[in-house]
Structure 1
């Protein structure tokens, strides 16, 4: 039987770890990031992977530096056949990737070579992609550029947000993890090189990615909203203060209005003009307030038709 060391931190990784057939492919160690301060009161919190691992009797290792000499020696003692790396959050050095007997495997949430990098789900949504998928690669020292072991495609739903699509991709990957491990154990995997001419990158998300550009079309604004849903969230400015947008959808065309102009403010809806159309906002989070339906926002603010958002 192949011995696996699993590297992961977030919920995507939990789904994979949960679905590994550990009778056929034992997991000797789970490597996850150290506990971090979380929430308003900054209490120490474990990663979802650590919580799952401890609840299922798995050994856990949480190094501050996975690539230092101490961590390297610990990894060598595991006598791993495979390192399985899923949303771990750290880059593994070439020296560390030489440790497993067979290979290191990474699961990436895109159809590589498209969207290499930290935020493939978010960027695919922002760019209006219709399909995405998961790619299992043999790891090397580069970023997401290893040879492809297996690739599976998923259609993106019109109303998929980043958290929802991430969950769908985790389910998709979990369906094939045991099949892939069996193929590797039996020596039946055929590696496929990535086409370097088709490479694109998915940069880490930042707060400013969520700023609504009213000069964009309704579809583009909605794609940004979906791609930024959760973190970093989408926002605009109303009278110089941040107005977070919690619910938004494309609206009907309107003529002659400057992008960012409020063209309707009633019936629990703010209708905002943009390029070749409008968007409809129904839930907001004003600066220094709690989230609220637009009807409450209208009742507490002097909102007028013709006011401009983004300024």
Structure 2
């Protein structure tokens, strides 16, 4: 069980006190953000609350089979006010695209498992030791003594399995595996989830993967692999940023690779590159991401770099080499 029972108690009290709720997660929504939001929204509705779920950006195709997925409204800005806003895995309101501002809710609850999170909420449930936000919401169900329905279990399992990389990342803890067992008991069928999330790819996403893999390269030491996705590749394949979710993982398939990096041109932007990091064991790529204004986890993180892919490589790769050599991420001129 999590140690932060105080935060869970404060959240439970806020839920009982308030009537209207705003729920949203970070930009470029993933399985954890969406699955956690759907499970939380269901919890609120079961308690007789009016909860509205939002995302600034579209739901990825691979998540559109989830129960109640249509309950999430896609919008650039939310109007109106709420008793309570619950923000999932976002270090600040900017991270979820400023869907609302600080004047639109009486109480802000910040639920996050990233080490880079800040205490921007009136209530902050921050647990860097949790595998996922889904794990945090799971413990909220337990704290409030609410049985988990099959649909809620499926949503929570999506968050858990995607953020642990099919239970292969370093954040796969005993608590995460116990949670998975509870969710399977509640009706989740892991083979069905695997088939929908990992064994099904659209033609355009496979075409984009092919183009990205053609750029795969390694540093001279053979310990860092990197590849890229450009706007030309989006046009040639018919794919979009939502089809890039797993591409970086191919970097880590080669023996001897300790850090993988994906450089991705941001759609409709001439001078911004999204950089994603993966690593093995003790190599803390969260340090790298924070060096460039981003963040994440020890073995999975990301940031945005101004400039072209060429300039981003020149800035980032030497810092990654330095991290491997010294254990510290510092700017390399």
Larger radius of gyration: 1
Q: Give the number of the structure with larger relative contact order, counting CA–CA contacts within 8 Å between residues 6 or more apart.
A: 1
- Normalising to structure 2: TM-score of the pair? 0.33
Greater helix percent: which structure?
A: 2
TM-score (norm 1): 0.35
Higher strand share: 1
